[in-house]
A and B are shown apart, each in its own frame.
Chain A
Amino acid sequence: MSYINSYCHISNDTVKINGENSTSIDSDSIEEIIRELYLSLELKYSKFHKMDQLSKIAFIGTELIKQANPEISKSGENDIALLFSNSRSSADTDIKFQESYQNGGIPSPSLFVYTLPNILIGEIAIRNKWYGENMFTISSIFDSEYYANYCNILIKKNAEAALCGWINVDDDKIEAFFFFVTKKDLKQLNLPLDSNMLEKIYRQD
């Protein structure tokens, strides 16, 4: 058995932590929304500005989960697994990369780096020195059963905790959901991990 100890929804206009409004956002463009969210974290991490939108949202969600779980900083570098999924892969950046060379230009190396969605896991791992198990999958919908089963296997075998996320970003919309699962019940939410519970909190947004 494992436990959901915190979760976070990010949309165009709201950030919710554990189902409660944490931040209201008043910006029109996705770029501005992400910038506003980054500034609200009061961090200085210059590499953030080089990331694509998908990785930026992953970074922000991870920082919010860390704030909700201060004990996460005590974890060993192999203790935390990273389990992420989405439906759009890196389509947004793939299109931008194509545009960088289709009119005779030279392909942009910095865009090319982000033409795989699992690079966001690398960004989280580098930032936090979390080198445990990791997986990124593409799925047409948020698959709560997949997350619950995979998390329980990871936590039974190789990890003390798992940071999980479902992130889709395009030109108009951010849809992101993060949750942090631990082997021990930290008594924060009293939520045992199972697919029904996960589906319920995912749909709270």
Chain B
Amino acid sequence: MEKLKRELKEQIIELLNLEDIKVSDIGDDTALFGESLGLDSIDALELIVLMENGYGIELANPEEGKDIFATINSMADYISKNKK
């Protein structure tokens, strides 16, 4: 699980062009949306693409995204349960 969390942090930084952010800046329970990382709705769409491209998970209900993408912990938890 720890490997997956680190991988997610690295992917998010690269995919979302977070040039001023380092892996160590993202805590497992840091809120991904809002003040801390400043992600926006387009970033949310990129995370949906990441789930599908990287882990073979298609989000059937986009409404679930809010909870799934809340933190690294919630993303890693969802991936580990649903990865194909």
User: Using a CB–CB distance below 8 Å, which chain A residues touch chain B?
Assistant: 44, 46-47, 49-50, 105-106, 108-110, 113
Q: Which one of B18, B43, B46, B53 lies within 8 Å of A105 (CB-CB)?
A: B53
Query: Taking the complex as formed, is B49 at the interface, i.e. its CB lies under 8 A from any CB of chain A?
Result: yes
Query: Taking the complex as formed, is B59 at the interface, i.e. its CB lies under 8 A from any CB of chain A?
Result: no
Chain A proximity of B35: nearest CB distance (Å): 12
User: Could you tell me the distance between the alpha carbons of A140 and B20 in the complex, rounded to whole angstroms?
Assistant: 37
User: Could you tell me the distance between the alpha carbons of A23 and B52 in the complex, rounded to whole angstroms?
Assistant: 44
B53 in contact with A106 (CB, 8 Å): yes
With A109-B42, A113-B42 known as contacts, the answer to whether A49 contacts B19 (CB < 8 A) is yes
| Count of inter-chain pairs, beta carbons less than 8 A | 30
Chain B proximity of A38: nearest CB distance (Å): 10
Residue of A nearest to B49 (CB): A106
The B6-63 residues at the A interface (CB cut-off 8 A) are: 16-20, 38, 42-43, 45-46, 49, 52-53
Chain B proximity of A108: nearest CB distance (Å): 7
A46 in contact with B52 (CB, 8 Å): no
User: Could you tell me the distance between the alpha carbons of A106 and B49 in the complex, rounded to whole angstroms?
Assistant: 7
B17 in contact with A50 (CB, 8 Å): yes
In the complex, chain B residues whose CB is within 8 Å of the CB of A106 = 49, 52-53
A50 in contact with B16 (CB, 8 Å): yes
User: Could you tell me the distance between the alpha carbons of A108 and B49 in the complex, rounded to whole angstroms?
Assistant: 8
In the complex, chain B residues whose CB is within 8 Å of the CB of A105 = 53
In the complex, chain B residues whose CB is within 8 Å of the CB of A110 = 16-17, 42-43, 45-46
B19 in contact with A46 (CB, 8 Å): yes
Q: List 12 A-B contacts (CB under 8 A).
A: A46-B20, A49-B18, A49-B20, A50-B16, A50-B42, A106-B49, A106-B53, A108-B49, A109-B45, A110-B16, A110-B42, A110-B46
Chain B proximity of A69: nearest CB distance (Å): 28
In the complex, chain A residues whose CB is within 8 Å of the CB of B46 = 108-110
In the complex, chain A residues whose CB is within 8 Å of the CB of B49 = 106, 108-109
B42 in contact with A46 (CB, 8 Å): no
In the complex, chain B residues whose CB is within 8 Å of the CB of A46 = 18-20, 38
Chain A proximity of B69: nearest CB distance (Å): 14
User: Could you tell me the distance between the alpha carbons of A110 and B15 in the complex, rounded to whole angstroms?
Assistant: 10
B17 in contact with A49 (CB, 8 Å): yes
Chain B proximity of A27: nearest CB distance (Å): 16
Q: Chain B CB within 10 Å — which of A47, A49, A113 has the most?
A: A49
User: Could you tell me the distance between the alpha carbons of A109 and B20 in the complex, rounded to whole angstroms?
Assistant: 21
- Having A46-B18, A106-B49, A110-B45, one finds 15 other A-B pairs with CB under 8 Å, namely A46-B20, A46-B38, A49-B17, A49-B18, A49-B19, A49-B20, A50-B17, A105-B53, A106-B53, A108-B46, A108-B49, A109-B46, A109-B49, A110-B17, A110-B43
